[in-house]
Amino acid sequence: MAARLGLLPHAALRLASASSSSPSRALTPFRARLPYPPPPPPFPAYRRASSAAPPRLRPRRALLAPRAMSSSSGNPYAAELAAAKKAVTLAARLCQTVQQDIVQSGVQSKADKSPVTVADYGSQILVSLVLKMEAPGSFSLVAEEDSEELRKEGAEEILENITDLVNETIFDDGSYSISFSKDGILSAIDDGKSEGGPSGRHWVLDPIDGTKGFLRGDQYAIALALIDEGKVVLGVLACPNLPLSSISNLNGGSSEDQVGALFSATIGCGTEVEYLDGSPPQKISVCSIDNPVNASFFESYESAHSLHDLTSSIAKKLGVQAPPVRIDSQAKYGALARGDGAIYLRFPHQGYREKIWDHAAGSIVVTEAGGIVTDASGNELDFSKGRFLDLDSGIIVTNKQLMPSLLKAVQEAIKEQNQAASLFRTSQAPRLTKPWSRCKTEAAARSVLTSPVSLHSPKPTPPPCPFMSQPPEVAGNPYGAELAAAKKAVSLAARLCQRVQQDILQSDVQSKADRTPVTVADYGSQVLVSLALKMGLPSHSFSMVAEEDSKDLRNDGAQEILDHITNLVNETIVSDGSYEVSLSKDDVLTAIDGGKSEGGPCGRHWILDPIDGTKGFIRGDQYAVALGLLDEGRVVLGVLGCPNLPLKSSSKNNGGSSRDVVGSLFSATIGCGAEVEALGGSKPEKISVCPINNPVDASFFESYEASHSKRDLTSSIAEKLGVQAPPVRMDSQAKYGALARGDGAIFLRIPNKSYKETVWDHAAGSIVVTEAGGLVKDASGNDLDFSKGRHLDRDRGIIATNKYLMPLVLKAVQEAIKEEQRTAALE
């Protein structure tokens, strides 16, 4: 678990649309983001996704020798350009190999941080190799990676993987008769330690720009530039997943079906684009729009990289009508350079320091295409200050016609933002506090003292926040007390998770080398659930089957993260105000290990996933705190805390009046139905699955991660059923909650054959659906069996739908699986 952040996310071009009037395309997947669910993108999508198939990656081919620019005559950097194009093309081949492995398998699981690490290092090594072999002059490289982590104990396996992959790529290419040793690999990585500066020549490299896009199978770039006496004079962008053909009519293109674009620019010689696998280069230029009303604009997909509310304000001032196009990586620069959009805005949070490798190549690709790249004050970017840019807040990219009006709008929006922040700070009045009461009696507190989580002297605490009041027991509900405790536990854990997610999105802590945030949130969530259940049910025996244990936190070097978890847990308890407790580090470790139960068919066992949907959590998307109760082998209670899921259903089948509330708490008890309420507190409302009986009218959910469900198979099932709507791909058990209130009619999850489903991934969600009138089965039509321990014992696949559609869905599923098996046997 602790290694979750090692797989840090990034990917295909994402289109964020504020418009709901665009036509939908049959079986073209879209992503469930807030507001949920979003309309299909009105802007032509870069990702070539048809139906529900996974992103199609180009097959590995023999690389063509890079061409010099068609205008190389008189180009003083022609030799460097040819070397740079060769370097990024070779690196792109390695990255494509790794990305294809990620998308087609489950290697991006929580505990495996190797894929991006291998690709990042491997890309940097290959670029370094080619530049040394091909580029004239002395060699200095400013790059993102160094070998420090690879020289540590325990890194031997990943170093071997990198070495093997690099040597295989060199062999496949055939240009160089060399083979790297592991020491050679480490030395090549450390070639990138240069600090750059105003004197001499320095190559600047981002070996994988857009890591999260890379992991999702989406947009990323290998970005290489040359700085000469403090000025960027050359830039090359390899964008393996970007179509060669422009989506704008302003620049022609005949390669409609080709994916993989190579942009290149040299100072004074213009910008060109060619097919990454080789084609004649074509000159490109930025669009000539002079009226911002007709403009479209790019911004970073990751909200940590750009304040979306600020860019929205700027667009409004300009009168921009089109929705923002959100893309990972410097692929945005390439797309803008050929006229796909008119404006690129990047305004990260205050304190964020821009690195030169994130902009060097892209900026010259745009300026040589006739565009302008400045900071928020209108100054050109200065790449002569070392590894970081020295700039006024924000980066603005557009054509010369729009820049004056854009700069004015930017400066007005920033001024208004600063004024609003100042007013907010000065208007804060001291808050009056009231005494709070203990949530339980002294006897109850003393009973918890003897349990694995101990209490210490109470600290002065603020009044309780109205985050989640204890709901009254439901008349006739045999699990009323357990339900109240579970809802309190999940709500308290959700508060901690929301805080950590906000920190992730507002900073750059989710960088490749920092796996702390999700680790802290996972452990912290589990500790708080354990605490709340013991405090809320002091007379009950306690057994919990949960995802985490404390093994990694007891290792040498884990002291800092344990301190962080302990502090965050105690701060959350204090801000809630329900419990006068303070946990020591030993208490935290003991509470985490309270989840080591194996479950089984006898007795009562709580089942917890402290953060279900880790990758959604990191991206700022859907995740859930999922808690179920197993009684004599049967799930009898479930609670889902979904902090990013709007309370209002998108279906007309279930009403809702809380239109703008985000944060849903689903709950269900056996025989008592399912309900939803605001995570921050509101009156619970009964929910039910949709009553659709014709699959043609149905929409269906599937897992966002390709490794969790075979999309070619679910696409085949949807086709057999005649489903017209595109699949809604969402992280976590939030899908179960959405289906339970009628947002969709079907949920299909059919992972690879060897995948073992864990009980915590389905216990809470399944009862929420069944108590809302739905059915949850395996591929053979059997009920899910949670009595076998920590894993489900079921026939391949999980299907959730209503009683009308289940016979049809089961038939389609079984036919599709049978056809798949026949095809596999023939192969």
Q: Please give the annotated binding residues for Mg(2+), written as ranges.
A: 144, 206, 208-209, 358
Rounded Cα distance between 788 and 600, Å, is 5
- For residues 637 and 670, the answer to whether their CB atoms sit within 8 Å is yes
- For residue 31, the one-letter residue type is R
Task: Please tell me the distance from the alpha carbon of residue 531 to that of residue 753, in angstroms, as a whole number.
Answer: 37
Which is catalytic among the residues 120, 375, 576, 761?
Answer: 120
Of 122, 144, 302, nearest to 210 (Cα)?
Answer: 302
d(CA 85, CA 365): 13
CB 685 within 8 A of CB 675: yes
804: DSSP letter? T
Question: How many angstroms separate the CA atoms of 128 and 322, rounded?
Answer: 41
The residue whose two tokens read 């830039």 is: 235
**What distance, in Å, lies between the first and last C-alpha atoms of the chain?**
37
Query: Which of 163, 169, 211, 714 is the catalytic position?
Result: 211
Q: How far are the Cα atoms of 8, 137, 200, 517 from residue 189, in angstroms, in the given order?
A: 20, 20, 21, 27
What is the total residue count of the chain? 827
**121: closest CA among 98, 102, 137, 104?**
98
Please provide the DSSP assignment of 679-742 as one string: TT----EEE-------GGG--EEEESSGGGS-HHHHHHHHHHHT--SPPEEE-STHHHHHHHTT
Helix or strand (DSSP H, E) at 47? none
**CA gap 361, 429 in Å, rounded:** 48
Quote the distance between the C-alpha of residue 396 and its chain's center: 25
* Catalytic (active site) residue 120: yes
Paired with 604 in beta bridges are 631
101 catalytically annotated: no
| Residue listed under structure tokens 């279900």 | 612
Cis amide leading into 37 (omega within 30): yes
C-alpha angle 523-529-532 in degrees, rounded to nearest 5: 140
Q: How many CB atoms lie within 10 A of CB 415?
A: 10
Cα–Cα distance for residue pair 169/130, rounded to 1 Å: 12
H/E element holding 130?
A: helix 114-134
Residue of 548, 553, 620, 631 lying closest to 585 (CA atoms): 553
Between CA 191 and CA 210 the distance in angstroms is: 22
Quick one: DSSP state of residue 87? Answer: H
- Helix or strand or coil: residue 808? helix
Q: Which helix (H) or strand (E) holds 651?
A: none
Determine how β-strand 297-300 pairs with β-strand 343-346: parallel
Q: How far is CA 583 from CA 351, 455, 611, in A?
A: 32, 6, 21
Q: Which residue has the tokens 């060769």?
A: 86
Interstrand relation of 634-646 and 395-399 (parallel, antiparallel or unpaired): unpaired
In contact, 349 and 369? CB cutoff 8 Å = no
Strand runs (DSSP E) across 306-362, as ranges?
Answer: 325-327, 343-346
CA dist., res. 260 & res. 778, Å (int) = 40
Distance, in Å, from the CA atom of 50 to the CA atom of 39, rounded to the nearest integer, reads 17
* Torsion of Cα atoms, 316 then 319 then 324 then 328, to 10°: -90
Catalytic residues: 120, 211
